[in-house]
Structure 1
C-alpha cells in the first residue's frame, strides 16, 4: 500500500502482526521503540512479551525476515518504509526457541552445531520420542523457513540436513559456511546476509526434478524466470543449465561414453531437406557413419528455410552437443556438405580447425551444368567419369594427369576447378581424414528414410522421426550384442576380399617393418610401422590394402591389428549402447503460457492447384521407371532426356 509521506515526527504506520495463527493490527509511530512495540502487542495478546518472544518484519522488495533486536533496528525499519513510501509494516512474533535457540543467528554468535543420532537399539526409543513426524518439505518459502526448527530436530543423514539447510538459507536470504564435517556432526558458521551462493546447480536440480519428470523440454531460461517469481532468487543462467543436466541425469541416466563420441568416426554430414506439409519449411540434419558405414543420426531441426542464419543456429547447438560429449577440439573432424553457403560459413565460424569436404556427386552435377554445357559436342558421360577419376586418384601425380586431360580438351574448366578448391574434394589433396568417403550420400539416405514423415504436421513429424531413430537403435543394439567377429560385417567382408587378392603377390623384405610388394609389373613400398603403402589406399581407407595384407601375413600377424579402431565390432556396439528414452504423447505435457514461449503457425499463402509432393529431378539426373511390359519381372529401364536425331544414309546418328 503506497501513500505520500511527509516529514512530521508524529508519522504513524500500520503494523500488521501474525502470531500463532492469530492476526493483530497496531499503530507504530515514527519515534517508537522496541518496548513500545511489545507493549502495544501485549495489550492485544498477553503471550507476546520480550522475555519469550522475538519480533521480525518483512523487508519490502527483498521479501526477507529481519529480526528486531534493539531500538536501532526499529528506527531502521521505520526509515526503510519511509524511504519506500509505504505505510504498512508486516510483523511476525515467534517464540525465541524457534528463531534463535540452536540456530544462534545473532551477530555475536554465528555457529550452529548439528549432531547426528546413531540408529542403534539403545537410541531408537529416544529418537522416536524427539523426532517429529511430518510431510516432506514442500517447495515454498514458508515451508522452507520452518524446515530448520532448532534444538531436538533430527535428520536421517548429513545429505538430508544439507538439503534442508540450503532451503532454509534461501528462505531467510542468508548464507553459511561449513566449518567442520565428520561422521558425528556438522558445524555451520557465518550465517550472514550475503545473497544466495547456496542456490547452486544442485539446489536447482532438487527443486526442478519433479517439473522435468513431466516436462523434459523445460528450458533453463524459463527456470530463471520461475525461480525469481516464486522464490525471489536471481538465478544465473549457467546454474539453471547445470541444474537441469543434473536433474535429467538423476531421472534418466546418461549416455556418457556411448553413442557418437565413442562409436563413430569424427565425420559429420550436413544437409537439408524440404517439408511437404502445408506450412512448408525445411529440416536441417547432422548424421554420421557407424563402424559398419550405416546411418547414425546426430541431430535434426525444423526451420522456416535453409539459409545462412538457420545453419549458424543449427551448428551452434550441434557444437554444444559435441561439447557435452567432451569433444572440445575439432582439428580431427571432417564435415561433408553440398556446398551450401550457409554451411560453409557456419562450419568455418563454429568449428575452427576442422576440415570441410564437398560432396562429389553435387560437384559432378555442377561440372556438367557449368562446364560441359559450354561444350555440346563433348561426351558428358565420358568427361564426368574423368572428373571422378581425378577426385578418386590417390596420388597427386594421377590427379594432375586427369585434370590436365580435362583442361586440354576444355580450357574453360580451369575457372571451375580452381573456384571449387580441389583440396576440399580430391583424395590426393585433402588434408584431413575421411576414411574413403567422398560423397554425402548418407545424408540423402536420411532424407529418403524420413520421407513419409515429411508430410505430417510438424509436431507429429518430429515425434515420428524420433520413434524411427529409437527403433533403429534398438534393432542395431540387439544385432551387435550377438556378433562375435572382430570387425563390423561390411568391413569384415571388405578385408576378406582384399586378403584373397593379396595371395598372388610376391614380397621382398627390406628391413624390420618395411617391405617391397610386387604387383604385376609394379612394385609398392609398405611400412607396417607407419601404416602406409605407396599406393595410398591404406592411408585413404584406413583398411589394409592388398599390398599391406601380403606384408602383414608374411610376418604371421593378424590383419585385424592393422585396421582402424573405428571399424572394430566394439566400436559398433558402443554406438548403440545408449538409448532414447520413451516420451509421452506430446499433448500430455504441461503447457507453459509465458509470453514468448508459444510458437504460432507460420503465415502461409496456399498456391492454386494441388500441392506438389515429388521433387523435380535435376537436369543431369536420369529418371528410373518400371517397364510396364516387364513389371512382373521387376526390370527397370532408363528414361533419359530426349535426344535430337539427325538422319544420315546409314540411319540415325545420335
Structure 2
C-alpha cells in the first residue's frame, strides 16, 4: 500500500493558557508553517526541519502532544517509535496538536498558563490518511505483561507530564541500569532483575538462550536483531559479570509482542516500598498506581498476587513462619517469664495449633472478675485457620485479653486443647464463669477440664439466632418481634416468677417456641436460674476491639501476626496503667457512675428494720427485703451486678456506713491498677530469628488446607439488631411473597410454598438492663 502523507501545520510565537472551567490547555498566537509528515519520517529529520523553520537547535527540542479527548496531559516524543505511535493514535482523527519546546527554557507543568511564547511552538497535524497495515506500538515500557493472565497495556504517554513525570523518571533511571561489558552484580537474580528493567526502559522483548546457576545468555526476541548479552560468574569470586554484549538493535526498539512477560516478582518489587509504609495497600490501588506510573493495566487478581509477593519479600515466607514456631515459643517465655506459649503438630509435622498467654495477662486476670468470654474468628491468611480467644472484663468494664490460640480449624478437639492450656496458664482453683456459644462443643470440654470449678453461660445472641432458625412455621413480623423480645426479657429477668411470666408470653404466641425455650437449658442463660455470676454480660463476643485487631493483622505470617497482637496488648496495658494513675475515685469511673445512678433512685425509699441485719425497703407500691450482712436484696440487682442496688444503698445510708464497703473488690480503682501492673516485653528477632541447630531440626509445615476463594465472613459487631420485616402479599395477605408471585390464582388457593423464617441476628436488650 502506498504511503500517505499528512500535513503538519506548525505555529510559533504563541503561548499556553488554561481554561478556568475545566483546567484544559489551549495555545494562542504565533505564526503558522506547513510540513510534510508520514509514518516513515524519522524523528531526527522531523526535528531538523522544525529547527530550520523556527531557528531552534535540533538537539534542544522537546516534542509533546495531547491524546485524543485529553487537553490536560502532554505526551513526550523522545524516539522514532514515539513519533510513529503518535501518527497511529490519530490515524482516524482529522487533527492532532504537537507542542515543541526548547529544552534550555524552563518548561512549566501543563496546568500553568504562562508558558513562554517566544520559545514554544505548536504543530497541528492533519492526518489525511495513514496506511492501515502499520503496526501500532501500544506502550514503551512493558509490551504485553502477563502475570498468569493477559494484562492490558496503555500508551506510555497516558501519564501526566510534569517536572516529576513518574513514568519518564522510571524509564530514565532504568535506561542505564545495564552499562555494558565488565559491569558486575552480586547475584544472578540481581542481574536478571536489571535486565528486566533495562528491556522495559528501552521497549524491547528478549528471551533466554541459557539461564542457569552458572551463566545467563539472552537475545532480542525479534528475529534477526543482533542484540545479545552474556553474563557469568567472575573467576575466583561470587560476583556476576557481563562478559559480552551487543547493544545494537535493528528492530527499531522491537514492536510490542504478546510474549513479553512481567513476573509477579517484578510488580512486587515495584510496590514493595509503598507496602512497607502502607500495609493496607489495596489491590485496586496497586492496579491504579501501576497503570498511572508505568502504563500497565492489571486486574484485581494480578494486583493481589503481586501484593502477596511483595509482602512475602518484606515479611518473610508464610511457610518459614511455621518453622519458626519452636523458636518463637521459647523466645516468648524467655522474654516474658511466667508466660505460657506452646504449639503442636500433626503426625505429618504440619501445623495444628498454637497457644499463648502472657504473664501480664495471667497476673492481671486474677484482679478481674472470674468471668471469661470464649469466642473465635476466622483468619484471612494464606492457610486460613481460626483464632480462639479468652477475654475478661476489667474493673471498668473494658475487655482484657487473657489468652488466644491459632488453630487449623474450629473443632471440639481444638477447643478442648485450648481450655486445657488455659487452665494450665491460669492455675487457679477459683470458680470461673464462662460465656460462650453453645454450639461449638465447648460445653463438654468445660465439664471435662474444669468440672465443678466453673459455670457455663450460653451466649444469648447465638440462642436467639438458633430459636428463629429451628422454629418452622409462619409468624407475622410483630409476632416474631414480640417472641424474641420476650425471650430476651426472660433471660434478663432477675426473679423466677418474672422468667415464668415471660415464658408464658412466648407460649401464647407459639407452643413450639415455648417448648424450644424449655428444652434450651435455661439454667445456662436465664439470670433467674443461672448459678454463676456473669454480671449481666449475656453475649460471648465481649472483646470486639480485640477481634478488630485480629482483622487488621490476620494476613501476616503467623509469628508476625502474634507479635503484632502482643504489641497491641502491651500498648493497651501501658495506656490504661497511665490513665488509671490519674483517677481519684475509689471505684473505677464506669462503676462510680453506676453507683451514683442507683444512689439517686434510693432517695425516696423508706427503710424499716425487720430482723437484726434484715431490712424492709418501701418505694411506692413495691417492698423489697435487704439482708445487709449477706449482700442480698430480693430484687436480685445487688447479686447480679456486684454493686449495691438502690434498695441496699437506702439501707447502707440509713445505717451511716460507707457504700464502698459493700462494692465488689473487682470494681475498686486499686484492683484496676493491679490488673495493669505487669508489662509485656518485646520479642526480638521475630522476622529473622537466629535459630539453633535444635530449632532448625524441628520442621513445622503449614496446615494442608489453604484458604478457599473469597474473603471469609467477618464476625459482625455487637449491636442492637432487629428482625427484618417479612414480605406480605397485598392480595392474599400471606407471608413470604408479594402479589406478583402470589400462589393464589383467581382467588383459588394452590399449594403454598414454605415460608422461610428470617434469621434473627439478635434484639435490643430490655429497657433497664445493663
With structure 1 as the length reference, what TM-score do the two structures score? 0.55
Task: Name the CA distance, whole Å, in 2 between partners of 1:341 and 1:368.
Answer: 18
The correspondence for 1:260, drawn from 365, 372, 378, is 365
The correspondence for 1:357, drawn from 426, 438, 457, is 457
- Change in CA separation of 1:476 and 1:523 when aligned onto 2, cut-off 3 Å: same
Task: Name the CA distance, whole Å, in 2 between partners of 1:488 and 1:215.
Answer: 29
User: Retained in 1: the 8 A contact 2:570–2:680?
Assistant: yes
The aligned residue for residue 383 of structure 1 is 483
The aligned residue for residue 523 of structure 2 is 423
Task: Name the CA distance, whole Å, in 2 between partners of 1:557 and 1:516.
Answer: 17
The aligned residue for residue 530 of structure 1 is 630
Task: Name the CA distance, whole Å, in 1 between partners of 2:539 and 2:649.
Answer: 27
User: Retained in 1: the 8 A contact 2:481–2:723?
Assistant: no
Task: Name the CA distance, whole Å, in 1 between partners of 2:382 and 2:500.
Answer: 49
- Change in CA separation of 1:400 and 1:640 when aligned onto 2, cut-off 3 Å: closer
Task: Name the CA distance, whole Å, in 2 between partners of 1:466 and 1:214.
Answer: 11
The aligned residue for residue 44 of structure 2 is none
Shift of 1:464: 1.2
Answering whether residue 563 of structure 2 is matched by residue 463 of structure 1, we say: yes
The aligned residue for residue 394 of structure 1 is 494
- Provide the secondary structure at the position in 1 that maps to 2:451: coil
What does 1:47-196 correspond to in 2, within 5 Å? none
The correspondence for 1:291, drawn from 395, 404, 409, is 395
The correspondence for 1:304, drawn from 408, 411, 417, is 408
Task: Name the CA distance, whole Å, in 1 between partners of 2:582 and 2:502.
Answer: 46
Task: Name the CA distance, whole Å, in 1 between partners of 2:509 and 2:374.
Answer: 34
The aligned residue for residue 599 of structure 1 is 700
- Change in CA separation of 1:605 and 1:436 when aligned onto 2, cut-off 3 Å: closer
Shift of 1:646: 1.5
Shift of 1:441: 3.2
- Change in CA separation of 1:220 and 1:444 when aligned onto 2, cut-off 3 Å: closer
- Pick 1 or 2: higher relative contact order, CA cutoff 8 A, min separation 6: 2
User: Retained in 2: the 8 A contact 1:372–1:380?
Assistant: no
The aligned residue for residue 435 of structure 2 is 336
User: Retained in 1: the 8 A contact 2:609–2:616?
Assistant: yes
The aligned residue for residue 487 of structure 1 is 587
Task: Name the CA distance, whole Å, in 2 between partners of 1:433 and 1:377.
Answer: 34
- Provide the secondary structure at the position in 2 that maps to 1:299: strand
Shift of 1:339: 1.0
CA RMSD of aligned residues (A): 3.7
The aligned residue for residue 321 of structure 1 is 425
The aligned residue for residue 406 of structure 1 is 506
What does 1:497-516 correspond to in 2, within 5 Å? 497-516=597-616
User: Retained in 2: the 8 A contact 1:214–1:590?
Assistant: no
User: Retained in 2: the 8 A contact 1:495–1:544?
Assistant: yes
- Provide the secondary structure at the position in 1 that maps to 2:603: coil
Task: Name the CA distance, whole Å, in 2 between partners of 1:337 and 1:396.
Answer: 23
The correspondence for 2:672, drawn from 572, 576, 591, is 572
Runs of 5+ in structure 2 lacking a partner?
1-329, 345-357, 740-770
**CA deviation vs aligned residue, 1:425-451 (integer Å, no higher than 9, x gap):** 000101122222222231444323432
Shift of 1:350: 0.8
Greater CA deviation, 419-428 or 367-376? 367-376
Runs of 5+ in structure 1 lacking a partner?
1-207, 223-251, 624-637
Answering whether residue 685 of structure 2 is matched by residue 581 of structure 1, we say: no
Aligned residues: 392
User: Retained in 2: the 8 A contact 1:338–1:359?
Assistant: yes
User: Retained in 2: the 8 A contact 1:267–1:289?
Assistant: yes
- Change in CA separation of 1:307 and 1:214 when aligned onto 2, cut-off 3 Å: closer
The aligned residue for residue 727 of structure 2 is 643
User: Retained in 2: the 8 A contact 1:285–1:301?
Assistant: yes
What does 1:26-41 correspond to in 2, within 5 Å? none
- Change in CA separation of 1:365 and 1:300 when aligned onto 2, cut-off 3 Å: same
- Provide the secondary structure at the position in 2 that maps to 1:441: coil
User: Retained in 2: the 8 A contact 1:488–1:567?
Assistant: yes
- Provide the secondary structure at the position in 1 that maps to 2:591: helix
**CA deviation vs aligned residue, 1:218-275 (integer Å, no higher than 9, x gap):** 99999xxxxxxxxxxxxxxxxxxxxxxxxxxxxx9x76994111x1111111111100
**CA deviation vs aligned residue, 1:319-365 (integer Å, no higher than 9, x gap):** 11011xxx1x24x2111101133211221111111110001111111
Task: Name the CA distance, whole Å, in 2 between partners of 1:580 and 1:309.
Answer: 30
Answering whether residue 542 of structure 2 is matched by residue 442 of structure 1, we say: yes
Answering whether residue 440 of structure 2 is matched by residue 367 of structure 1, we say: no
With structure 2 as the length reference, what TM-score do the two structures score? 0.47
Task: Name the CA distance, whole Å, in 1 between partners of 2:340 and 2:499.
Answer: 53
The correspondence for 2:375, drawn from 240, 254, 271, is 271
Greater CA deviation, 488-497 or 340-349? 340-349
Answering whether residue 379 of structure 2 is matched by residue 280 of structure 1, we say: no
Task: Name the CA distance, whole Å, in 2 between partners of 1:258 and 1:579.
Answer: 10
Task: Name the CA distance, whole Å, in 1 between partners of 2:655 and 2:363.
Answer: 35
User: Retained in 1: the 8 A contact 2:383–2:706?
Assistant: no
User: Retained in 1: the 8 A contact 2:614–2:628?
Assistant: yes
- Change in CA separation of 1:428 and 1:596 when aligned onto 2, cut-off 3 Å: farther
Task: Name the CA distance, whole Å, in 1 between partners of 2:398 and 2:487.
Answer: 27
- Change in CA separation of 1:381 and 1:449 when aligned onto 2, cut-off 3 Å: farther
The aligned residue for residue 190 of structure 1 is none
Task: Name the CA distance, whole Å, in 2 between partners of 1:489 and 1:520.
Answer: 31
